[in-house]
Amino acid sequence: MNSIRQRAGKLLLGSLKRNAMVHRPSLSVTRPYSILNQLPPARRRIITPWFATFLLGGVVLSGYGGFILYQTLTMWPPEVRSDLRNAVRAKHKGDLESSEQHFHRAWNTIQTLPIDLLGSQPYLKLTGMAVALADVLELSNKKQNAYDVYVHALKLLQQDQVKATLTGPERLRAVAISSKLGELAKELKRSKTEEEKWLVWAVEELLRIVKGPSKDDSSEDVDYRHQGSFNLPMLALPSWISKTDIGAPLEALGSFYAGSGRLDFAMPLYLQAISLLIPPAPKKSTPEDRCRGAQLMGNLSEMIMRGAPTPETLHQAEAWASQALAVTKKARADASKPIVQCEEVYAAALFNVATFRDMAGDKKVARSLYRDGLEHARSIGMTEGVVEASRALHRLDMGDGAEVKMS
Ligand SMILES: *[C@@H]1O[C@H](CO)[C@@H](O)[C@H](O)[C@H]1NC(C)=O
């Protein structure tokens, strides 16, 4: 598995390079900048459930951003405080229109201020304001406007004279925004190329961040104690990156490629994400992360099965499914209390391994795993799992297995 991962590392970089369509927009920012005047009306809302849970790292991109703003009002320059306060208050009351107006004004104002007025990590604050505005726009279903605000915020971070000054958290902010743009591009049905551009930039920047020391010389932000303990050679993880943040852009891009049928691009990304979420011993990761990794193993297994089944692909796919099951079992045993995601991944893993055994004609093990899966799915109220496992058991009892013909 290790060698697969290593190869994947190389493959990934290769595939990213092949995608030379990644152009960094160059922008000269003119301030003040009013976005809202120039925008077409909001477009149709398209719900993508996967992305709803995506990007835990972007907590600031959610309503939580508003909370932070409120808690730390005093760290903002006086020029924007009252708009900020009003914006946050209006948002809490559900008056999105008024909230948007105030955030918009605060965003325009803050861009006219000298950057040093914003104290340490100024770009976290500057783009935080943009993100807060965009969040309200999203909530008002003005996704197109939100998109433009995010684009603008990202471009501020990508300016040549700014890039070199950014601290780790500021660079991660750029990763989060770029990932968010990928998500919105999809919802807004922008071109695949555009969606890909954002997702690829996020992954590339992420890899640049974890690869080398950041430009950040306030070294208390950075923890290099774990240097070299990850199996990706370039990884020296600064402490401010939780692995949750790290896996997300890789997962997003992997999912994008999987969705467009480019499995050769998708697979190495999944492998990278898995090896970040489940680092090899002696490094440990949380049960949550391990379950997330196990879920990706399940995705990988499923992806491998999309091709015509041959003995090798079947074997490979089953190996990943079994690995997912083993990881989940261990993570559940290690967790001090049940973790929703782990429980669901566990149900899926039981079902997947059962299916492979079923296909191999190993009815006895298949039946027992389906039963475990059924029981477990029932215990967590996972209807889909209950239905699928019952159906499979019924089919087994009818003597009609799921054996496959090898090509
Ligand atoms: C992995 O599979 C799960 C369950 O089918 C799905 O919800 C999730 O979106 C997939 N993740 C990725 C990154 O493809």
68 band by pLDDT with thresholds 50, 70 and 90: low
The pLDDT, as a whole number, for residue 282 is 81
Cα-to-centroid distance, 269 and ligand 1 (Å): 13
Atom of ligand 1 nearest to the CA of 299: 1
Instruction: Determine the average pLDDT of the residues in 121-149.
Output: 92
Q: CA 124, CA 178: separation in Å to the nearest integer?
A: 14
Q: Are 199 and 17 in contact (CB under 8 A)?
A: no
Residue 229 pLDDT exceeds 80: no
- Ligand 1 in reach of 251 Cβ (< 6 A): yes
Assessment of whether the complete model's pTM goes beyond 0.85 = no
User: Cα–Cα distances in Å, from 292 out to 53, 207, 262, 270, 298?
Assistant: 12, 20, 22, 11, 10
Residue-wise DSSP of 339-377: -HHHHHHHHHHHHHHHHHHHHTT-HHHHHHHHHHHHHHH
Atom of ligand 1 nearest to the CA of 251: 13
Choose the residue to mutate in 47, 183, 255 for probing ligand 1, maximizing ligand atoms within 8 Å of C-beta. 255
- Ligand 1 in reach of 293 Cβ (< 6 A): no
Residue 235 pLDDT exceeds 60: no
Instruction: Determine the average pLDDT of the residues in 131-150.
Output: 94
Residue 273 pLDDT exceeds 80: yes
Atom of ligand 1 nearest to the CA of 252: 13
Residue 251 pLDDT exceeds 60: yes
- Ligand 1 in reach of 299 Cβ (< 6 A): yes
- Ligand 1 in reach of 48 Cβ (< 6 A): no
359 or 227: which leads in pLDDT: 359
What percent of the chain shows pLDDT beyond 70?
A: 71
Choose the residue to mutate in 257, 269, 271, 295 for probing ligand 1, maximizing ligand atoms within 8 Å of C-beta. 295
**Other CB atoms within 10 Å distance of the CB of residue 254:** 29
Q: Are 111 and 31 in contact (CB under 8 A)?
A: yes
Atom of ligand 1 nearest to the CA of 270: 13
Overall CATH class of domain 2-64+167-404: mainly alpha
Q: How far apart are the two ends of the chain, measured CA to CA in Å? A: 25
User: Cα–Cα distances in Å, from 10 out to 19, 88, 250, 280, 313?
Assistant: 14, 46, 15, 18, 22
Domain boundaries, the chain: 2-64+167-404
Cα-to-centroid distance, 334 and ligand 1 (Å): 23
- Ligand 1 in reach of 254 Cβ (< 6 A): yes
Residue of the CA atom closest to atom 12 of ligand 1: 255
Buried b (16+ CB within 10 A) or exposed e, 327-353: bbeebbeebeeebebbbbbbbbbbbbb
Q: CA 132, CA 149: separation in Å to the nearest integer?
A: 10
